[in-house]
Homo-oligomer: A and B are copies of this chain.
């Protein structure tokens, strides 16, 4: 997606440790107009008529998932990352390793809000090692729901998480796959 890649190239920063910072428009300050454009792209890539529920993980996936859900008239569910006292009983849980926070995190979704009748599109803003995506896929399986696909805005291709999911047969589309990133020189995979 040209527009997204241009924003990453012009506003993204490459920090030590191969961290790509896009927090001016994607995951700290949010450009909601860009989120609408991304949702439009997802509409071309996935069968939105079939989807019943958009699933994401807190926190930074929520903005994009909300815009997608609103645009296509779906419900949106976000996986929580810690058990708070306003979640009760029946939960789907999946343990993942968060490289951002350098610790194990458990993704939790109340079993009330995804069922075997659901056709789920997973949406997230960013994928590196693909741990969050894997955890969300596990939750869809645990619910007995159908996974229609996985829509990701920015993927760090060189960390392999996305390719592992594609090799596993998942219907994953990322709109900007970064093949290499050095300050001032971010290279995107052809065709994204």
A residues with a Cβ closer than 8 A to B are 15, 17, 19, 21, 23-24, 27-33, 35-36, 58-59, 62-63, 66-67, 69-70, 73-78, 80-82, 84-88, 100-102, 109-110, 112-113
How many copies of this protein are present in the complex? 2
Give A53's nearest chain B residue, CB to CB. B29
Which of B59, B86, B100 is close to A23, meaning CB atoms less than 8 Å apart?
A: B86
Q: B82–A29 contact, CB under 8 A?
A: no
Which of B70, B75, B109 is close to A67, meaning CB atoms less than 8 Å apart?
A: B70
Give the distance in Å from the alpha carbon of A165 to the alpha carbon of B104 in the complex. Answer: 37
Which of B28, B80, B85 is close to A78, meaning CB atoms less than 8 Å apart?
A: B28
Which B residues are CB-close (under 8 A) to A66?
A: 30, 32, 35, 62-63, 66-67
